[in-house]
Amino acid sequence: MNGNALIQVRGLKKHYNDGAVRALDGIDTDIKKGEVVVIIGPSGSGKSTFLRSLNLLELPTEGSIVFDGEDIAAKHVNINKHRQKMGMVFQHFNLFPNMTILRNMTIAPTKLLKIPKEEAEKTARDLLKRVGLEDRADAYPSQLSGGQKQRIAIVRALCMKPEVLLFDEPTSALDPEMVGEVLDVMKTLAKTGMTMVVVTHEMGFAREVGSRVIFMADGVIVEEGTPSEIFDSPKSDRLKGFLAKVL
Amino acid sequence: MADWLEKLKSDFILNFVEDNRWMNITRGLKNTVIITIFAAIIGVILGLTVAAIRTTYDKNRETMKKNGGIGYWVMTFLNNVCKIYLSIFRGTPVVVQLMIMFYIIFASSTHGVMVAIISFGINSGAYVAEIFRGGIMSIDNGQFEAGRSLGFNYLQTMIFVVLPQVFKNILPTLLNEFIALLKETSVAGYVGVTDLTRGGYIIRGVTFSAFMPLVGIAIIYYVMVMLLTHLVSRIERRLKKSER
Ligand SMILES: Nc1ncnc2c1ncn2[C@@H]1O[C@H](COP(=O)(O)OP(=O)(O)OP(=O)(O)O)[C@@H](O)[C@H]1O
Ligand SMILES: [Mg+2]
């Protein structure tokens, strides 16, 4: 086993309808500390299913996911403890609409980590400052633009001090002029050494920020490598065809 | 003074003033209010419980099945009990349920009001359960996933994230259910409980004049319903305003 693998995935399968749909059909990979793994691939290739399996929002049909020395895909695992250390950012933000921005960010740390309210709020305000939204602490999600909501969603996840952040197409629901502000936050985050797994269609981001790019198709990893290996010298025809379409 | 006005006045005195007949009305009104309030409380507790069981089962079936063990079977059993309860109590008339309760299940009880409270409460619970369940189901699954991904367990996600939104959304519907309940309690007289309706009915039996007592109680019901309706629309407006 690789010593610095934060998440070790082996033989991961997810089948629907008794195997009629094989969303994931045997995934093996290690996600190392500090890595920014970017997952690309055509629609329906299983990118979201893979990402959502990592924190068990999807229950694997088969295989193992070792995180913090425990196979979290096994029976009777307290997944809630592990999820506290795996932040997730969704395509549609999923902020809590009935809470202020500050409350969105402090509810989990105060309730789950038992961090005192003042301390949690201070952490939250510091993070808000880092993404340039310190003046929106008392606003409600519906008062924010899409780009602002997604930046809040990112710092909400950070408030739990996670070991890894999972992103499922974080910019796909945004107006084009707001994509940049979210990607900028993610870039900054990557520079601080945060481990990130990012499903995205933003090839520019993948090339610039990714330490490794995984190309998926039909529920399997077809090709993986550094951004330049994937984008400049693709080997498989599937990847060549895909890149021809998206670049 | 016009003849009809004279007639109205003497009618009023005959039906409400003489022999303190108005007391039938106030006693009945008191019971109507008591039955409605306590039945509503039972309805909410029962409805919330049933909705919790049903949605927990729906949302966690896959995980529970995977982990195996007794939990899955217990939840399946409870879920089926809830389904049967909903089906029976929404599928039969409330007045028939009331009579079965009074003449069969609590046949030895002399506490008519109590039996009426239990009966209307259980009936209302079936409707409230579906209101809550609809409310929970209408919350975007992304809210559950966001809660769970932060590390909240299923119950914490419900309590901290989902239910506050549900309460806000369904409050008007819930209050309308209680308005319907208030009117429904008017069949309590079938098992001899002196509610508002029966109070008016008793007066009619003594004075042999139907107009004054029946229109009288109709007005009282109407005023109560209008007050509650007004309250609901005010709350609705408040909620809309806070919907930023
Ligand atoms: N609940 C489900 N039941 C049946 N099939 C499903 C279910 N969820 C996903 N699938 C199937 O699994 C496959 C992988 O889906 P997934 O959402 O992971 O793809 P994706 O790569 O994220 O696609 P996109 O780029 O469109 O988001 C698809 O064929 C999809 O239809
Ligand atoms: Mg997807």
Q: Which residues of A touch B146 (CB under 8 A)?
A: 88, 90, 94-96
Q: Is B161 on the interface with A (CB under 8 A)?
A: yes
A2-6, A158-162, B160-164: least confidently modelled range:
A2-6
A12 beta partners:
A27
Q: Ligand 1: does its nearest atom lie under 6 Å from the Cβ of A146?
A: no
Dihedral over Cα of A190, A194, A195, A200: its sign: negative
Q: What is the CATH number of domain B2-243?
A: 1.10.3720.10
pLDDT at B20 over 70: yes
pLDDT at res. A155: 97
Buried/exposed B63-72: b ≥16 CB within 10 Å, e otherwise: ebeeeeeeeb
Q: How high is the pLDDT of residue B13?
A: 87
Most confident residue range from A224-228, B171-175, B197-201: A224-228
Q: H or E stretch including A40? A: strand A36-40
Q: Decide: residue A3, CB within 10 A, 0-12 exposed, 13-18 middle, 19+ buried.
A: exposed
- Give the Å distances, CA to CA, from A178 to A170, B125, B148: 11, 48, 27
Helix ranges, chain A (H): 47-54, 79-83, 101-112, 117-130, 146-158, 176-191, 203-209, 227-232, 237-246
Confidence of residue A2 (pLDDT cuts 50, 70, 90): very low
pLDDT digits (tens, 9 = 90+) for B43-64: 999 999 999 999 999 888 887 8
Inter-residue contact B80 to B162 (CB < 8 Å): no
- Given CB atoms, is B160 within the 8 Å cutoff of chain A? yes
How high is the mean pLDDT of chain B?
92
**Is the pLDDT assigned to residue B1 strictly greater than 70?**
no
- The verdict on the CB of residue A16 being under 6 Å from ligand 1 is yes
User: In this predicted structure, what is the pLDDT of residue B60?
Assistant: 83
Tokens of A72: 């979290």
pLDDT class for A119, splitting at 50, 70, 90?
A: very high
pLDDT value of position A4: 75
- Nearest-Cα distance to chain A for B136, in Å, is 15
Complex ipTM above 0.85? yes
pLDDT greater than 50 at residue A1: no
Structure tokens belonging to residue B192: 């001899």
Q: What is the pLDDT of residues B99-142, one digit of tens each?
A: 999 999 988 877 889 999 999 999 999 999 999 999 999 999 99
The tokens describing A226, both together, are 């550094």
Q: Collapse the DSSP code of B24 into the 3-class scheme (helix H, G, I; strand E, B; otherwise coil) and give the result.
A: helix
Report CB contact under 8 Å: A88, B243: no
What pLDDT score does B242 carry?
A: 66
Long-range contacts of A119-122 (CB under 8 A, 24+ apart): A120/A159
Residues 4-33 of B with CB under 8 A from A: none
Given an 8 Å threshold on Cβ–Cβ distance, is B151 in contact with A75? no
Q: Beta strands A70-71 and A62-67: pairing type?
A: antiparallel
Give contacts of B150 with chain A, Cβ < 8 Å: 83-84, 87, 108, 112, 156-157, 160
Closest CB to A55: pick one of B68, B149, B161: B149
Q: For residues A163-172, give the mean pLDDT.
A: 97
**Spatial contact of A191 and A16, defined as CB atoms under 8 Å apart:** no
Cα–Cα distance for residue pair A56/A66, rounded to 1 Å:
12
- Tell me: the pLDDT tens digits for A178-200? 999 999 999 999 999 999 999 99
| Mean pLDDT over each residue of chain A, to the nearest integer | 95
What average pLDDT does range B70-87 have in this prediction? 94
Residue B109 φ/ψ, nearest 5 degrees: -80, 145
In a mutational test of the pocket of ligand 1, which residue from A14, A38, A48 has the highest number of ligand atoms less than 8 Å from its CB? A48
Nearest Cα to B146, choosing from A130, A92, A67?
A92
Please return the burial class of A232, using the count of CB atoms within 10 Å of its CB with bins 0-12, 13-18 and 19+: exposed
CA end-to-end span of chain A: 36
Model confidence at B70, in pLDDT bands (50, 70, 90)?
confident
Name the pLDDT band for A118 (thresholds 50, 70, 90): very high
CA dihedral B141, B146, B152, B158 (to 10 degrees): -30
Lowest-confidence pick of A98-102, A173-177, B161-165, B206-210: B206-210
Chain A residues near any Cβ of chain B (below 8 Å)? 55, 57, 59, 75-76, 80-81, 83-84, 86-88, 90, 92, 94-98, 107-108, 111-112, 140, 142-143, 156-157, 160
Rounded Cα–Cα distance for residues B239 and B216 (Å): 35
